[in-house]
Amino acid sequence: MAGSVWDDESWNSRQFNVENCSPTVAVIKTVSQATGKCPTDLSPLADYTEPEALDQLLGATEAVTVQFEYDGIDVLIVGSGVSITVRCNP
């Protein structure tokens, strides 16, 4: 699919195993790396989405895609129940 964020190299991407890293922590780590900010310098994720719901949704066994804006950063998460891929475009 032309023009997809999966093909756009300006998006930062990281993959995580859900057994080792919760989706909310994965988002914070990815945005922190992409922006060069310390995780504690980012706005609280709860100001932009419900962290517990995000973890529950992306920890499910079905494939799911979630997209939202976090502190001015576009975030796209794809989860399979086993792993999640977090992409962000600062």
Does 3 fall in a domain?
Answer: no
**Cβ 70 vs Cβ 48: under 8 Å:** yes
Question: For the chain, percent helix, then strand, then coil, each to nearest 5?
Answer: 30, 30, 40
Q: Is residue 32 part of a domain?
A: yes
**pLDDT tens, residue by residue, 74-83:** 999 988 878 8
Instruction: Quote the domain boundaries for residue 52.
Output: 12-89
pTM of the model: 0.82
Q: Is there a domain that residue 54 lies in?
A: yes
The closest of 26, 60, 58, 20 to 45, measured between CA atoms, is 26
* Any domain includes 4: no
Evaluate whether residue 55 is within a structural domain. yes
What gap in Å lies between CA 58 and CA 11, rounded to an integer?
20
- Domains identified in the chain, total number: 1
The answer to whether position 1 is within a domain reads no
Is 7 part of a structural domain of the chain?
A: no
Among 24, 22, 15, which residue's Cα sits nearest to residue 50?
Answer: 24
Q: In this predicted model, what pLDDT tens digit does every residue of 30-63 receive, in sequence order?
A: 999 888 999 999 999 999 999 999 998 888 778 8
Q: What is the dihedral of CA 21, 79, 7, 4, to 10 degrees?
A: -140
pLDDT band, very low/low/confident/very high, at 19 (cuts 50, 70, 90): confident
| Interior angle at CA 43, CA 37 and CA 44, nearest 5 | 125
Q: Flag whether 80 is in a domain.
A: yes
